[in-house]
Structure 1
Amino acid sequence: MSIQVHYIEGRSAGADGELRQRLSDLMAGLGHLPGFLSADLLCSPAQPHLCLLESRWAGIVPALEIPAGCKSWAFTVTESWTPPPQA
């Protein structure tokens, strides 16, 4: 099965949290879409105006409504690594 990781990047001009809320609302609506596996909203204290919505999909990412002013990319997972269990 092919896994794709999709990112939506947004930068806000202020610290009002509007962008973060828009991406959070978008994330909350992803669960009903075919192939959806999981999502995380990433915000960096070192870059307070930057937010990333990362979502994982089984197969092709469906058409998503990208908020105005945001950019998006999809990547196919070509290799993964998980550390072995420790005794």
Structure 2
Amino acid sequence: MPPGAELSIQVHYIEGKATQADPDVQQRLSDLMAGLGHLPGFLGADLLSSPAQPELVLLESRWTGDVPALDIPVGCKSWAFTVTESWTPPTQA
């Protein structure tokens, strides 16, 4: 990348909700996350849950450039966002 050029980062979310008909959405998203590492541009991922919404599961992944085509599990929704601004706290001495 040329000096001064900015790296384009995208954050991708896949949302799944566990239901009586589909209680295994967390495992399916975990399995999907485990297979992302070989894809170009992959920076990392987290599987998120909340005690306030125990049925909701989010797979958040970070990518350089565009997110590749992913196999979104049936019943899940997905969104990609371009990072437009970031902030990191200064290191503590």
TM-score (norm 2): 0.89
The structure with the largest helix share of the pair is 1
> Is the aligned partner of 1:50 residue 2:56?
yes
What's the Cα RMSD here? 1.1
Note if 1:30 corresponds to 2:36.
yes
Task: Look up the equivalent residue of 1:22 and give its one-letter code.
Answer: R
Match of 2:10 in 1: 4
Distance apart, 1:26 and its partner CA: 0.1
Unaligned 5+ residue runs, structure 1?
none
Partner of 2:3: none
| Matched pairs, number | 86
Query: How far did residue 63 of structure 1 move?
Result: 0.2
TM-score by length of 1: 0.94
Q: Aligned partners of 1:45, 1:23: CA distance in 2, in Å?
A: 18
The sequence identity of aligned pairs, in percent, is: 79
Q: For the residues of structure 2 that align with 1:39 and 1:27, how far apart are their CA atoms?
A: 7
Deviation at 1:17, TM superposition (A): 5.0
- Is the counterpart of residue 21 in structure 1 residue 41 in structure 2? no
- Which runs of 5 or more residues in structure 2 are unaligned? 1-6
Match of 1:79 in 2: 85
Residue deviations 1:6-53 (CA, integer Å, cap 9, x gap):
000011114x85110000000000000000000000011111100000
Specify the structure having the higher radius of gyration (Cα): 2
Stretches of 4+ aligned residues off by more than 2 angstroms: none
Query: 1-side partners of 2:30 and 2:23: how far apart?
Result: 10
| Residue of structure 2 in register with 1:60 after alignment | 66
- Quote how far apart the aligned CAs of 1:80 are: 0.1
Amino acid at match of 1:62: P
